Amino acid sequence: MSRSRWDCWGELAGPDHALARPIDTVLAALLIIGFLPVFLLIAAAIWLDDPGPIIFVQRRVGRKGKCFPCFKFRSMQVDAEKQLAGILRDNPELRETWDRDHKLPADPRVTRVGRILRMTSLDELPQLFNVVRGEMSIVGPRPIVAAEVPRYGRYIHHYYALRPGLTGLWQVSGRSSVTYRRRIAADIKYARARTLGFDAMILAATIPAVATGRGSC
C-alpha cells in the first residue's frame, strides 16, 4: 500500500478512512440499542452471582499511545486484583505463565457468570460505548495495558496507528490459543492491510468465532 494512503501515524487515509469513523459510530449506536435487553439481563446475572460493580474499568493504551478507560462487564470476583498478587506469589509456574501471556489458565478469580460471558465474548459488549466515544473501533487490534507495550518492541508504532477494536484479526484467529508473538504479528498484518473490505471480512468471521467459543479463556 502506498505511503500516500497513510497519515503521519500510519492510519489509513483517503475514502476508507473518511468512512471508517462514521460507520463505527452508527454501527455501535445501533448495536447498543439492539442489545439493551441483553445489557440488562447480564447486569442482573452479574449482581446475583457476585454482588458488586457491574462494569469493570481498566486503563488501556489506545491510538497514539494515549490511555483510556476501557469498559467490560465484570467477569471476576470483586477482590480479583488482590487475589492475583497472592496467586502469583505462591505459584511460580503461574507467575511464569502470567509474565509470558498476561493471562492465567483456568483463572480461579473468574465467577460462574463470568466464565459464560468470556466464552461468548459478551463481557466486551460495553466497549461499544468506547467506540461511540471515539476511543475504540469496531475492528482493530486488541486493547493492551501499559505493561504490554514493551513486548511490541519496535513494532509498537503499528499498534499506535490504530484505535483498538472490539473485534479484530487476533480475535478471529484463535484468541487465547494463539501465542503472544503471533498476536503481535496479527496486529502488524492488520495495520498494514487495513481496508473497509478487510474489516468486513473480520466482522463476518467474528460471528462463528464467538458462536463456537474458539480460543476463549
Q: What pLDDT, in 10s, does the model give residues 142-153?
A: 999 999 999 999
* Of residues 41, 103, 37, 40, the one with CA closest to residue 76: 103
Res 14: pLDDT? 47
Which positions ≥6 away from 119 have C-beta within 8 Å? 213, 216
Q: What pLDDT, in 10s, does the model give residues 169-179?
A: 988 887 666 78
Asked whether the whole model's pTM tops 0.95, one would answer no
Q: What pLDDT, in 10s, does the model give residues 37-48?
A: 999 999 999 999
Whether residue 68 has pLDDT greater than 90: yes
* Of residues 162, 159, 200, the one with CA closest to residue 180: 159
Res 15: pLDDT? 46
Q: Looking at the chain, list the stretches that DSSP marks H as alpha helix, in order from N- to C-terminal side.
A: 15-34, 36-49, 80-90, 92-101, 112-120, 127-132, 149-152, 156-160, 180-193, 196-212
Cell of 215: 480460543
